[in-house]
Amino acid sequence: MINKIIKILSVFVYLLFFTLIYSSKARASEKYATIVNPIRSRKLWKDKTFKPIEDQYKAIDDLDLKATWLIQNDVFEDEELMEKIKQFNDKQELGIFLEVSKNLALKSRVYFDEQRPWYDPGVVFLSAYGREDRIKLIDRTMRDFKNTFGYFPKSVGAWWIDSYSLNYLENKYKIKSALIVADQKTTDSYGVWGQWWGYPYYPAKNNILAPGNSKTLIIQWALRDPQLAYFGEGPKISNYSLQANDYINQDLDIKYFEKLANIYFDPRNEIGQVTVGLETGIESVGYIDEYKKQLQWIKDNKINDLSMTEMEMKYREKYGENPDEIKIEEWKMTPDFRENIKLSERTNYKKNYVFADYYKKDEHSFLNRVYEDKNLIKKSFFSKEILLNLLAIIIGIIIAKIWPKKRWVVILFFVWVGLLLAARLRYSVIGGEKMFGFLIDNFRFLGITNKGRIINGDLSNLVAKSMLKLDIKGIFLIKWIVLGVLVAKIYEKFIKTRKN
C-alpha cells in the first residue's frame, strides 16, 4: 500500500514538474529580429558600384525576410540607385535616415558649416541646428520622400535624434518607430548613455533616452554586450556588439552573435528584440558574408522578422505602453529607472528634464548625451520666448489704454517694419568688391556693389553666412506689442457695440 502511494506521488511530482517546465517554455519571450540597413549617398561608399546594395538585398530576398531600409536625403538624387530601391519586394519597408548633408541643408535654405567633416556631430545631426532650421530640414526630407514614393514614411533613424525633432516628426508625420544608437560612451565623436539597455521603449516627450508616453517606439542600433561593453570607452569597448563589423574586429565570430542575441531574447520578458543590419556600401563592404550568416541564423532559428513599423505594432499589441519591468541579464529596467547591481549602476529617470538641444543648437564636435544631472536641465512650462511675447502683448494693451489714439498702432507698425528691414541689412567685401543690401532669406541677396553692380539672387553658403549683420535684440517683441494694441482696440470696439 505504501509503495503504491509512493508511486502515485512520484507520478504526481513528475507530472507537476513537467507542467512547470512546459509552462515556463510557453511563457518564453516571443523573439523578433528587426533588420535595418541605412543607405547614404554613394559618394561615401567604399565600393561605389551597385554591388553593395545588390548583395545586401539578395541576402534578404533569398531568405524571404523583411527589412527596413533607411534612406538619407542625398540618395533621392541618385536616379540609378533609386531605381534599384524601387525594385525591392513589398516585404521591404522604406524610411528616412535623418543625417544632414551640405546638399540637404542648402536645399532647405539652411546654413551648413563646410569647414567640418560630413560626420561631425556639429553638422550631421538635427541637434546642430536651431528649431526653425530643424523643421525646414525635416519638411524638405519628408517632402522629397513623398515625391519619390507617393507617401510619408513611418520609420526614421539616426545615431542621435533630439526630442524636439522627434516630437515634430510624431505630431506632424505620425511616425511609428525611430532608431538611435545603443549606449556607447565615446565612440565616433559622440557619447549616448542612459537609455534602457538594448530594449525597445516608448520615450518621454521631453527626453528620448528616458521611457515615457510618446507613441514612437525607439529601437537601438548595435546592441552592446551587457558586461563587456559597459566599462571603458572607445571602439575597443563598444565593438562588443551585435554588428558584424564590430565583433569581427574583436576576433569573434557568429557564435558571439548567437550568444548576444540569446541574451536579448531573455525569457523573463514577453518580447525579445534585436536589431540586425549594416550601413550599405560602407560597413556592408567586407562583412557581407558574416551578415549572411546572421540572416541565416535568424531564419534557421525561426526568429520572427519584422520591419520597424511592424515592431512598433507588435510592441503596442503586447504591452500597450512601456512594461512595468524588463530584465536583460543583470539589468533591470522600469519606467522610473534602470539598474544593474552587479555593475553598481542606477539611472533614475527624471520627469520633465531635457538635454539643452531641446531648445537650442549644439555645434560641438563631440555630442555628449549622457543621462546624468550635469547634462540635464529642467523643462520650462513656458519658454523664455513665450513669456517675453506675453509681456509684449500686455505692454501693447497698456499703450492702447494710455494713448488711445489710433495713430500709435500705425507708428508701432512702421517701427516694427523698419526694424525688420534693418535686421536684414547686410554688408560684406568679396574679392575686393563691397556689397551692401538686404538678405531676403538665408541665401537670397538683393543689393548693390561699390562698382554699381546690382545683385539679385542666391549667394553661396560661405558668402551668405559670413555677411555682417545688425544684431537688433528683441525685434520680434515689436510685433507682439502691436498685437497687444490691436487686441485692446478690438475689445474696446466690441464693448462699445454691445452697449449700443
pLDDT by residue (tens digit) across 224-256? 999 999 999 999 999 999 999 999 999 999 999
Q: Is the pLDDT of residue 7 over 80?
A: no
For residue 9, the model assigns a pLDDT of 44
Supply the pLDDT for residue 279: 98
Q: What digits encode the pLDDT tens for the residues 179-189? A: 999 999 988 89
In 207-358, the DSSP E strands lie at 217-221, 271-276, 304-305, 326-328, 331-333, 337-340, 345-348, 353-354
Asked if 164 contacts 178 with a C-beta cutoff of 8 angstroms, the reply is: no
SS3 at position 187: strand
Higher-pLDDT residue of 72 and 18 is 72
Asked if residues 134 and 168 have their Cβ atoms less than 8 Å apart, the reply is yes
Q: How confident is the model at residue 29 (pLDDT cuts 50, 70, 90)?
A: confident
C-alpha 459: how far from chain center: 31
In the chain the domains, ranked by start, together with CATH numbers, are: 28-378 (3.20.20.510), 384-499 (no CATH)
Full-model pTM: 0.86
- State the Cα–Cα distance between residues 226 and 85, nearest whole angstrom: 35
Average per-residue pLDDT for the chain: 89
* H helix intervals, 108-183: 121-124, 131-149, 163-173
* Tens of pLDDT, residues 60-92: 999 999 999 999 999 999 999 999 999 999 999
Per-residue pLDDT tens digits for 172-217: 999 999 999 999 998 889 999 999 999 999 999 999 999 999 999 9
pLDDT of residue 440: 86
Handedness of CA 173, 178, 181, 185 (dihedral sign): positive
pLDDT of residue 433: 86
Instruction: Compare 491 and 318 and report the one with higher pLDDT.
Output: 318
